[in-house]
Amino acid sequence: MRLTRLTLHTVRLPLVAPFTTSFSTQTERTAIIFELTAAVEGREVTGWGECVALNEPLYSSEYVSGAIDVIRRFLMPRLDGELTAETVGQRLAPIVGHRMAKAALEMAVLDAQLRAAGTSFAAYLGVTRQRIPCGVSVGIQDSVAALLSAVGGYLDAGYLRVKLKIRPGWDIEPVRAVRKEFGPIPLQVDANAAYTLADAAHLRLLDEFGLLLIEQPLAEDDLRQHAALSQLLTTPMCLDESIVSAAVAASAISMGAAAVINVKPGRVGGYLEARRIHDLARAHGVAVWCGGMLESGIGRAANATLAALPGFTLVGDVSASDRFYRQDITPPIEMRGGHIDVPREPGLCTPPERRLLEKFTVETIEL
């Protein structure tokens, strides 16, 4: 196919409640929605993608306006002429980093390619599961009582696994309280890199709670320290921010820095790299699960399909749309019986509704 036009819609979606992690409190999600127009054998097709970079470089070094700049100046110019989704990564490889921007471009090309072929992402990946189990990520709350109320609400809604955000000063006590209140529910924690190896003795206190895993306790660029820490804990070590490619995943696995990997297509440069990480981990007997970046229904639908691959044996953070949004730009993705159906329509997602896309768009750029 040949790309003919790319429209970047910057959308701002209000969150149903403030979402506090060790790195920020967010009350809305700014994201870039990619609307790609391409020519396939003389026909015009549309592809949708979503860049998961935050408004500020707080989760990783990428951020919305930086992604728009690198796409305009350095990535789009490399996507001229005939190309396929499977060759986008190679075309963009000379540009260092900017994985979330690259991922969104590859995603839009893949969506256009699948729509043109009338193929679902599920068929393209060869997933056989019809639905995926849903976990929920629970932010840091103002009090333990508020946390217990939030967790109770999510359990009542049917979520099958609870993940608690932690940071120094909000870790042992909230986990103990959730264990005391809800018993042996599937439970894990995510520190978003808030600790150092000097906190090892403190983090060992988490071992008494029988957690499924501890996610990214240390800095994203330190595999060695995670390997050292994993020797000191019985709780399995899971990495998120650190795993930016299949190559880094291979290093993390071989160093014993990750017993489990949180796979996020945006963080690793796209859904095709995410599949490569899935395949690598599976070959090593390392479990993966699908993380979340508060995606709109575009990324959320694609993640639901990715999470149906056989190596995604742990419940992920693919929650229903209403976990974060009262209204989405696509029809809401709903959870029934703790599960989300794997989409079977052509493409990666249900396209956004034009009036909702316009309602939440704060900036439109034509490239």
Ligand X SMILES: CC(=O)N[C@@H](Cc1ccc2ccccc2c1)C(=O)O
Cα torsion for 276, 277, 283, 286, to the nearest 10°?
-160
Q: Closest separation between CB of residue 269 and ligand X, Å?
A: 17
Q: Which of 171, 220, 240, 273 binds Mg ion (CB under 5 A)?
A: 240
State which of positions 179-208 bind ligand X (CB under 6 A). 190, 192
> For residues 34 and 289, which CB has a smaller minimum distance to Mg ion in the complex?
289
Q: Closest separation between CB of residue 319 and ligand X, Å?
A: 8
Q: Closest separation between CB of residue 322 and Mg ion, Å?
A: 21
- Select the residue whose beta carbon is closest to Mg ion and give its number: 240
Let me know how long the chain is. Answer: 367
264 assigned to active site = yes
Distance CA 110, CA 245 (A): 19
What is the residue type of 50? Answer: E
What x-and-dash track marks residues 209-248 binding ligand X by CB under 6 A?
-------------------------------x--------
DSSP 3-state assignment of 354? helix
Q: What is the bridge-based pairing of β-strands 287-290 and 260-263?
A: parallel
Q: Closest separation between CB of residue 173 and ligand X, Å?
A: 20
Q: In this structure, is the dihedral angle defined by the CA atoms of residues 15, 19, 23 and 24, taken in order, positive or negative?
A: positive
Distance CA 219, CA 221 (A): 6
**Residue 294 near ligand X by CB under 6 A:** yes
Between the alpha carbon of residue 276 and those of residues 244, 247, 264, 352, the distances in Å are 12, 10, 12, 28
> For residues 114 and 293, which CB has a smaller minimum distance to ligand X in the complex?
293
Structural tokens at position 178:
């959730």
**Residue 295 near Mg ion by CB under 5 A:** no
What x-and-dash track marks residues 11-50 binding ligand X by CB under 6 A?
--------x-x----x--x---------------------
Place of tokens 């002429």: 81
Q: Where are the alpha helices (DSSP H) in the chain?
A: 64-70, 85-92, 99-117, 121-125, 144-157, 172-182, 200-203, 223-232, 246-255, 265-268, 271-283, 297-306, 354-360
Q: Which of 102, 163, 165, 180 is catalytic?
A: 165
With CB cut-offs between 5 and 8 Å by kind, which of Mg ion, ligand X, none does residue 54 bind?
ligand X
359 assigned to active site = no
In the complex, the residues that contact ligand X under the rule CB under 6 A are 19, 21, 26, 29, 54, 59, 137, 190, 192, 240, 291-294, 317
In the complex, the residues that contact Mg ion under the rule CB under 5 A are 190, 215, 240
